[in-house]
Chain A
Amino acid sequence: MSESVKRSIWVYHLNTGGCNACDIEVLDALTPWFDAERFGVKLVPSPRQADVILLTGPVTIEALPKVVNAIEAMPRPRYIIALGSCGVGGGIWHDTYSTIGGVRELLKVLEARGVKVDGVYYVPGCPVRPESILYAVALFKGLVEKKVKSEVAYSE
């Protein structure tokens, strides 16, 4: 990961059709109790200034062209942090007609268009707690260790 990005992360918040809960928690992470600015996180008003996109929501087909447009407008290196069960896995509506089912499907669309994304972080939660967002930011900056790993358990 590029050191220049790590130091102070400028994020652009992109709701792709989520229910708003994660979006409120993103804002909550910036208010006094959690204060993500401790880590140099700053919300910016345009994707042109952003290092990281905080992506919430399952990417609806109506929002898809606008989402692609916004990600294309970002300078390289560009990172995506997918928030919430919708952003990561499409959530409760992962297979309906009007969503494409989260960031993994979005990455395929981006790849088909030749838009490069330098890294993707996945943050589960429904909605994500502000602490989860802080943890993800700390993980991004290398301040904490990753805790989850895939487990295969045999019943016998």
Chain B
Amino acid sequence: MVRVLKPVELIVVASEKGRVTVKYPYQEPLVTSDFRGAIRIDASKCIGCGACVKACPPNALELLESPDRLVIRYFVGRCIFCWRCVDVCPVKAVVGTREFELATDRVEDLFNYTVHRRAECRECGSGFATRRMVEYVTEKSAVSEYYANECPECRKAKVLKAAARRRGGV
């Protein structure tokens, strides 16, 4: 008899546990402080080096290039929330947030852009790295601003020219 009645015990368990339902969205969600949500790029800190773009496994961060602009595009819809970009950013411009309420009816809402201006080469005038990156390099290393404002092509040509002068030909 006791064995037959065993399944009925579930009612006891249910009444002891009471209601567990979280009344989200009318109440705080169950998100813990450790949760990894969407990322945010702080444009005032970002130097446009592209380290995050290189580390991103699903290509949610992409580098769009034009002659005078360099844009980091963040597509939340493809992000896997791994925060590798947060790990690799050299200037801590990428910050992780707890945001998860990202639903939308327009896919355009899910794209975020960080726009950088390219530095212009002192010699040929073409754009190469971002201006912020040049600033960062001159600040952190012994390279003088004179050299940093040259594009890699011009720098290469100059070095070859200098070498040619010294040795009488390369």
Contacts and interface: CB of A to CB of B under 8 A. Distances in A.
Contacts of B76: 124, 148
Contact of B20 (A33, A132, A146): A33
A97 to B, nearest CB: 16
Given A85-B58, A85-B79, A122 B104 contact: yes
A147 B102 contact: yes
A120 B112 contact: no
Interface in A1-43: 32-35, 38
A79 to B, nearest CB: 10
B108 A150 contact: yes
A156 B131 contact: yes
Given A33-B30, A150-B110, A122 B131 contact: no
Contacts of B21: 32-35, 38
A126 B117 contact: no
Interface in B2-54: 20-22, 24-25, 29-31, 38, 41, 43-44, 46-48
Given A89-B78, A135-B25, A155-B130, A150 B58 contact: no
